[in-house]
Amino acid sequence: MSESSRTVNSTRKRVLTLLRMIVTVALCIIIIRQADWNKVILGVREVGGALVLLSLVLMLLSVTISTYKWRILLSIHGISFAFSQLQQFYFIAIFFNNVLPTSIGGDGYRIYKTLDNARSKSSAVIAVLMERITGLSALFLLGYFSAIWVYLQTENSLARLFIILGTIGLAVSLLLPLLVNWRRLNARILSSKKAPRPIKAIAEHLVDYSRNPGKSWNVVATSFWFQLHNSLPFFILLHYGVGASISFPALLVVLALLNIVALLPISINGIGLMEGSLIFLSGQFGVPYDAALVVMLLIRILVMPLSAIGAFFYFRDKRALARSVS
């Protein structure tokens, strides 16, 4: 890459970061100005330490479930890492995502730490991508069928919109296998001498999933397990903490849409975007503005101990590396 290209890319990154900062500040100002902070402070106090502690324990267990799933995906590609090592990487990734001011994200860190393996660098990338894809797919399906249930019970307009959009998405997903013979296409890519190397690497690694059906189905099952488990802290804090009358299926609809919105890279760490989205979406099911804000603030606070664990592992490893070099 030439010096001019590097300069252009650096400038572009700075501009994008500045725009994201502006969006983040603007969203936070809007949320802060519309909140009744007397109610928010009172709501935080009324949640109680027991529910907050239970939510923290559940969030810690979510990291363990995610690590388990990541380890299965790596093993499908013939890569073996100790569970404890992968769990440390996962906590450090949470630290990167939420605290450390760096250009590398948590997923990028996990890929980097597993690049040196017995198979290939592509395996490390594909394992993390498949973890994300299967997780989002599971949450989408849970949200879709929950939307059907909620709509049949309440005729909620947001649930109806989810059903319409979800049906279109499922129809496209189901039609693709009929229009494209993926196995034949994959075989052609593998046998082709003209196929680009990255495409060929993906095709090669996708075969691993058909060769390991048991592990592949385990990944699918774990994805649903994780999403249901990961929804519990939100439900506990909303239903029992602030007394919101939202049902668990309705919450799954909210969280599915919330995670779709979270894919938009328009704010820093989703700050403001996540809070505003939860307030708006849960409000469609009768959750008061201030109650939703209390829950989102508590979730943000509860992420900090997870980040602190990641920080401990990260700086411990840095010190150990520095001692070994010296």
Q: Please report the DSSP string for 184-237 in residue order.
A: HHHHHHHH-SSS-HHHHHHHHHHHHHHH-HHHHHHHHHHHHHHHHHHHHHHHII
Give per-residue burial for 110-128: e unless 16+ CB within 10 Å, then b.
bbebbeebeebebbbbbbb
pLDDT digits (tens, 9 = 90+) for 2-15: 566 666 567 777 78
Question: What is the mean predicted confidence (pLDDT) over 268-296?
Answer: 92
User: Is 25 inside a domain boundary?
Assistant: no
Please give the mean pLDDT across all residues of the chain.
88
User: Is 5 inside a domain boundary?
Assistant: no
User: Is 190 inside a domain boundary?
Assistant: yes
pLDDT digits (tens, 9 = 90+) for 188-208: 777 777 777 777 777 777 888
Q: What is the pLDDT of residue 178?
A: 67
Q: What is the pLDDT of residue 13?
A: 76
Residue 103 confidence (pLDDT) above 50: no
- Domain encompassing residue 145: 53-325
User: Is 247 inside a domain boundary?
Assistant: yes
Q: What is the pLDDT of residue 2?
A: 58
Q: What is the pLDDT of residue 110?
A: 94
Amino acid in the structure at residue 188: R
Pick from 28-32, 104-108, 285-289: least confident: 104-108
User: Is 212 inside a domain boundary?
Assistant: yes
Q: In the structure encoding, which two tokens stand for residue 13, read together?
A: 């990154």
Q: What is the pLDDT of residue 271?
A: 86
Residue 136 confidence (pLDDT) above 60: yes
pLDDT digits (tens, 9 = 90+) for 159-171: 999 999 999 988 8
**Inter-CA distances, 105 with 38, 92, 230, 305, Å:** 36, 10, 21, 18
**Total structural domains within the chain:** 1
Question: What is the mean predicted confidence (pLDDT) over 274-288?
Answer: 93
140, burial (CB in 10 Å: exposed 0-12, middle 13-18, buried 19+): buried
190, burial (CB in 10 Å: exposed 0-12, middle 13-18, buried 19+): middle
Q: Any long-range contacts for 67-70 (C-beta under 8 Å, 24+ apart)?
A: 68/222, 69/131, 69/134, 69/135, 69/219, 69/222, 69/223, 69/226, 70/110, 70/127, 70/128, 70/131
User: Is 241 inside a domain boundary?
Assistant: yes
